[in-house]
Amino acid sequence: MHINTTSTTLFIFFTTCTLLHLSVVSAAKCNPDDEAGLLGFKSGITSDPSGMLKSWVRGTDCCNWAGINCLFDNKRVTSLSLSGQSDKPNSFLSGTISSSISKLQFLDGLYLQNLQNISGTFPTSLFKLPNLQFIYIENNDLAGPIPEIIGNMKNLDVLSLIGNRFTGTIPSSISKLTKLTQLKLGNNSLTGVIPQGIQSLKNLTYLSLAGNQLGGKIPDFFSSLTNLRTLELSRNKFFGKIPPSISTLAPKLAYLQLGHNSLSGNIPDFLGKFRALDTLDLSSNQFTGTVPTSFKNLTKIFNLDLSNNFLVDPFPELNVKGIESLDLSNNKFHLKVIPKWVTSSPIIFSLKLANCGIKIKLDDWKPAETYFYDYIDLSGNEISGSAVELVNKTQYLVGFWASGNKLRFDLESLRIGQRLKYLDVSRNSVFGKVPKSVVGLEKLNVSYNHLCGEIPKTKFPATAFVGNDCLCGAPLQPCKA
Ligand SMILES: *[C@@H]1O[C@H](CO)[C@@H](O)[C@H](O)[C@H]1NC(C)=O
Ligand SMILES: *[C@@H]1O[C@H](CO)[C@@H](O)[C@H](O)[C@H]1NC(C)=O
Ligand SMILES: *[C@@H]1O[C@H](CO)[C@@H](O)[C@H](O)[C@H]1NC(C)=O
Ligand SMILES: *[C@@H]1O[C@H](CO)[C@@H](O)[C@H](O)[C@H]1NC(C)=O
Ligand SMILES: *[C@@H]1O[C@H](CO)[C@@H](O)[C@H](O)[C@H]1NC(C)=O
Ligand SMILES: *[C@@H]1O[C@H](CO)[C@@H](O)[C@H](O)[C@H]1NC(C)=O
């Protein structure tokens, strides 16, 4: 015991000496320009509640500061990388990006991700950094236009400005950034059209312009962008048809997201040739006609969202081994049953088939797997029988929506699991009492059924309970004594 303590003390003593020695030696090596550049950056930060920059102290080796990487041979700073964590409330930085960042002449990567509150305009001091290849300024609060001289940063490999408040058009000079492999400008407020010049970016593998206010037609220039694996154009104002040249992306494209636009016409046959396609989102557009039979060949599709269009029967039988997430809601389908390739999926977690013309008895539906289910939406069908067996089996269910069916079961028999947050069985023939266990839900709707008895104390509004046989108590009329 004694000997151990002594040797530990000695060990700590020697380690401390060695560390002190090391830091003195390396402090001498920290390049003065880099130190000045980084301390200048730090002085532009007005609030750092989680202490992300607390190791950034003058006179210590800046290569050892949090978020800093240096070249091994000359110890020049090559990357600055700070990132906030969404699960920690104080994990953000306020302030602006100081122009002194231009002193970091060896910087090749700037990663300022999820810091939430870094504001100001696009930092033009970055144009003075000849080696800069990677810019990730994501989920911050930068605003104003993306400057036209962005085209001068010819070495850029990745430009990601996702999740800021940039406005104006995408500069046409972007066509000069021919080394770009990733261009991510999603979740900003960009306007105008997609510049034709993007077709010069032949090495692009990732193009995301989703979540802006871009409009016009989607340009028909994809035959020069055949390296694309991800194309995200969702949540904009694009109209017209899916351009034919998208067919040239078939060998490699894995993600195609065009949802929440005003696209129209038929879903093209050629989409069935996209053998690598994992995610296809065409939701909330104005697509008409049938889903092409070529979709049988989409054997790798995991996530398919065709909801909120005007698509009609017949829906092809897919050959997928396992779908993870499917949404066909609110089209003009009359599926009659839940498709076999859905029922047999061993990995499905989200199934949304609202208003799909399904006419089954729910007790007869025996999904191969219920373990992964998070969401089931079967609203607006003609489904009869009881939801009890299904809901009881899906122990991790978060949301169950089945309003407007012919379900008939005792609400008190339904297992309201720990994870369940949303339950809507309104407009059915549900009977019995409202159980106390609904209190923990975030949203509940049991209106227009045959429930009776006193409502337990909950936060839900009257519209969640109206239209039943004899429910009483707040928020409805008091029960008779
Ligand atoms: C974000 O930054 C602005 C301006 O710099 C400041 O007024 C605001 O208090 C900051 N927000 C938080 C949560 O610190
Ligand atoms: C595009 O990628 C290829 C293959 O990786 C590479 O040889 C070429 O130099 C790149 N083009 C540009 C402009 O960087
Ligand atoms: C963009 O915003 C949407 C909606 O808020 C969000 O679901 C998505 O994850 C965001 N995308 C990125 C890449 O941050
Ligand atoms: C599926 O792919 C095979 C092989 O490429 C092709 O012969 C067949 O016509 C395709 N099926 C449909 C329905 O397009
Ligand atoms: C469903 O779960 C509830 C509550 O846990 C239980 O009372 C009921 O007997 C179960 N019913 C079925 C059919 O599993
Ligand atoms: C409950 O559902 C009914 C009919 O489906 C609807 O009119 C009402 O607004 C809903 N109320 C709540 C709180 O969701």
DSSP labels, 412-450? GGS---TT--EEE--SS--EE---GGGGG-SEEE--SSE
Burial label for 173, CB within 10 Å (0-12, 13-18, 19+), is: middle
Q: Is 403 in the pocket of ligand 6 (CB under 6 A)?
A: yes
Tell me, in angstroms, the distance from the centre of ligand 1 to residue 114's CA.
14
Residue 27: what pLDDT? Answer: 45
pLDDT at residue 146, rounded to an integer:
97
Helical H segments across 194-286, by residue range: none
Within 13 A of 187's CA, how many CA atoms are on the CB side? 12
Mean pLDDT estimate for the chain: 93
The residue whose CA has the least distance to atom 3 of ligand 1 is 94
pLDDT band at 16 (very low <50, low <70, confident <90, very high): very low
Give the range among 99-108, 203-212, 316-325 with minimum mean pLDDT.
Answer: 316-325
H/E stretch holding 18? helix 2-29
CB of 387 closer than 8 Å to CB of 362: yes
Question: Which residues, including other chains, have CB under 8 Å from residue 477's CB and lie 6 or more apart?
Answer: none
* Banded model confidence at residue 87, pLDDT cuts 50, 70, 90: confident
Taking alpha carbons only, the member of 247, 331, 253 closest to residue 291 is 331
Rounded to 5°, angle at Cα 26 from 21 and 28: 105
Q: Which ligand gives the minimal distance to the CA of 45?
A: 1
Is 265 close to ligand 6, i.e. is its CB under 6 Å away? no
- Copy the structure tokens of residue 115: 């810091």
Question: CB-based burial of residue 299 (10 Å sphere; 0-12 exposed, 13-18 middle, 19+ buried)?
Answer: exposed
Q: Is 423 in the pocket of ligand 6 (CB under 6 A)?
A: no
pLDDT > 70? residue 19? no
Per-residue pLDDT, 267: 97
So what's the pLDDT on residue 448?
98
Q: Which ligand is nearest to the CA of 385?
A: 5
pLDDT of 86 reads 82
Q: Is the pLDDT of residue 458 over 50?
A: yes
Q: Which amino acid is at 106?
A: F
**Distance from C-alpha of 218 to C-alpha of 257, rounded to nearest angstrom:** 13
What is the number of the ligand closest to the CA of 94?
A: 1
Smallest CA-to-CA distance from 185 within 235, 115, 229 is with: 235
Q: Which of 38-47, 72-81, 305-314 has the lowest mean pLDDT?
A: 72-81
Alpha carbon of 163 to ligand 3 centroid (Å): 7
Residue (of 159, 166, 237) closest to 198 by Cα position: 159
How far apart, in whole angstroms, are the C-alpha atoms of residue 84 and residue 63? 20
Rounded to the nearest angstrom, the distance between the alpha carbon of 132 and the centre of ligand 2 is: 17
* Index of the ligand 6 atom closest to the CA of residue 445: 1
- Mean pLDDT across the stretch 207-234? 98
* pLDDT for residue 168: 98
Going by pLDDT thresholds of 50, 70 and 90, the confidence category of residue 73 is: confident
Ligand 3: which residue has its CA nearest to atom 13?
A: 162
Protein residues whose CB sits closer than 6 Å to any atom of ligand 1: 46-47, 94, 117, 119
Does residue 255 register a pLDDT over 60? yes
- Specify the pairing of strand 384-385 against strand 262-266: unpaired
Give the pLDDT confidence score for residue 118 in this predicted structure.
96
Give the span between the Cα atoms of 274 and 272, in whole angstroms: 6
Ligand 3 pocket (Cβ < 6 Å) reads 162-163, 186-187, 211
Q: List pocket residues of ligand 5, CB cut-off 6 Å.
A: 388-389, 392, 413, 415
Q: Please write the tens of the pLDDT for every residue from 162-212.
A: 999 999 999 999 999 999 999 999 999 999 999 999 999 999 999 999 999
pLDDT in tens, 323-375: 999 999 999 999 999 999 999 999 999 999 999 999 999 999 999 988 899 99
